[in-house]
Structure 1
Amino acid sequence: MQEIQIGLLGLGTVGSGVIQILTQNDDDISNRTDSHIKIKKVLVRNLQTPRSVSGNFVLTDKPEDILQDPDIDIIVEVMGGIEPARTYILEALHQGKNVVTANKDLLALHGHELLDVAKEAGKDLYFEASVAGGIPIIAALKQSLAANRISTVIGIINGTTNYILTSMTEQGRDYEEVLKEAQTLGYAEADPSSDVDGLDAARKLAILSSIAFNSRVTINDVYVDGISRITADDIAYASELNSCIKLLAIAKHQPDGLEIRVHPAILPKSHPLASVGGVFNAIYVIGDAVGETMFFGRGAGSLPTGSAVVSDIIQVTRNIETHSTSAINCTCYNDLQLTKSDDFHTAFYIRMRVKDEPRVLATLALLFAEANVSFASIIQRQKANEEAEIVLVTHPIYEAQLREALKSVKAYSKVLTINNVIRFEGK
């Protein structure tokens, strides 16, 4: 039985999960790979920091101890961030080592470069854990669905925002209150901006889109909007419309190019993603041959993410045993145009506060009609101080039409505030 030696870069949440899984499932993994997988060295920032895991491995704070060790076969990078992770992975590939990484930030920006270097070096670069934790979506898109032309990928791929919106929906609480609870429970960071502003989901969507549509997409190509403007009122109105609000990562191959966007969306309760609650993730994929498919599971955490990392380690181990490199490197053979946000085509929810006077609604309808915007439904609630709250739901329109209409609406003296505008999905 061959021995495969691992150099682990990082010993945080994910690194600890990798060690735990390799330890507790050692016999099964050895039998499945006909190999003994051993962690030889682990790179840490501070050698004196107490650790929650232990094993027969050496801790070091010198990356060269791992990257230049000729006996190490696989480098596993779970540090996160762009640098020095990028430099370490490039060095590992140049040193003739295979690489497994969970680094979504790095891949969303430099994935093409890393895959090209891996190909030139004749080595594997696997990254299942970079998107949706333990959900095997990368392998599904690259292998199981490879016979398909993918038209749509829609995902709930950030557990923090899904927990917040689920709690707001189920308990009727406000955003700020639920965010503080999420931070207390450890679902949200002290600085939650990457999650709640949609950036975490956007990085993952860039990776998924590049694979699904075989066209290079980076984080800079993704339209992003976060959930901080969503209120309990918006949640209640969505429910009245037999819908819910989710932070969706949406990628569509349209006739005029790729539509890549992350934002809150009102989703009909009949949609498969509407029932995905709490910290869970799910990705809904449509292919021309397979039709609709959905992948569901835990999108983060020590063991779920560690599961994806170890699965990649197992595949690389099998490749080493057969003297092959079966990683599917960059398949971005297309150069598809990106659709501008003006050309996004959806229905819209518009909540506004107006003066409660005759002909206000009729005037609003006229202002929208001048931009060729019509309504699918209207909700009006009387408020105090001779004011009313109106929710307008448009038929599907181009975003440019909405912006044109809102310019006139904002200038109308009877409109006091436009409280929120939210896109629909699945209408």
Structure 2
Amino acid sequence: MSDAPTAGTEHGPVWSEDYGDGAWVLSGYDEVAAALRDPRFSVRRAARWINSGMAAGGRPSPAQLGFKRVFARSLLFLDGRAHRRLRDVVQVGFKPSDLQRQAPAIAAIAQDLIARIDQRGAPEFDFVQAFARPLPALVIAGLLGLPEQATDDFIAWAAELAAFIGSPTPDARQTLAAQQALAEMGEYFAQLLARPDAHQGDGLLARIAAARQAHRLSAVEALAQCCTLLFAGYETTRNLLGNGLLALLRHPAQWAALRASPAGLRAAVREMLRYDSPVQYTGRRLVDDVDIGGRRLRRGQLAILHIGAANHDARRFPEPQRFDITRDQGLHLSFGRGPHACLGAALTQLEAEIAFGALLRELPGIEAGAAPPAWQPPGAYRALERLPVISRKALHA
């Protein structure tokens, strides 16, 4: 993967053979934003593409069928009324008042992780391993009402699912690893949901259990939403933290400006999301013919909505390759648009603001390490595997 964020070069749809059996790629801001809101671009059909490799070479195994069954009931892969019904159940925990109550807990997690970094003694450490991975895992565990000690398993499960979902054409290893991860995650949540007191408390897991008890969710729907929240709540934030810090380290004047005026954190996080989007693209399956830019996209074809490229469309963002934390030129598409806009967008923004605020206060002299950053294989997620950095408690004179 290139170290540079994706640049937008095409506005109309372009056919590409890089995605399964081929797909239309939309990369202009206006075109991607419109498609995200258009019900003719279906996420339900995208699930067929995501799962297409699992039954290759013969009859699906019970593990494959169980994998598809859970994915098929996730709100990520449902349209219309079914999507709205599930979203209504889980979005209660993402109300602004609920999220603001989470702020002190998020701040405490960030502070504790920085304290652990200090306790190591050695100034050089991997920011992804020490901070970007554990912080969102601990936050989503708290939001769900889960024990902190389970987060190591969460991180491992989420990594395997991200590798599978994020690959245009998952290979056998990715598929089997994702099946195993989802099976283990499902078993974990199934045991918790089966407890007599599962519906008690105010965590998201308790609310899902209460909805199941009230017959608002089926058993598999409850399980699917638990797995979805854990995965989606972790992956985007983890990538934002890594990509965002890397952008600041490569633009030291921007880091210095943020130190001088921490009140600009909200705008800075928005620019991090635009400049190096954690989710680079999303897939849709057309349920009707669509005409865009003189091209006819046919029913049943796959469309790739390239969010990373749209966020670098010069028609919307002048000098799109310039990282500018004071930029105010419209809203990025990193959280999507329309009915499938990211449910946890406000939580991710809040986590990042708190996390970078803590880094500014406690590690203001942080700088790039000797080794270069390492990226995960290219796919839908723009993700750092390692980000070596050096912690300086005091700024250089």
- TM-score, length of structure 2 as denominator length: 0.22
Q: Which gives a bigger RCO, structure 1 or 2 (Cα 8 Å, sep 6+)? A: 2
- TM-score, length of structure 1 as denominator length: 0.21
Q: Which has the larger radius of gyration?
A: 1
Q: Which has the higher helix share?
A: 2
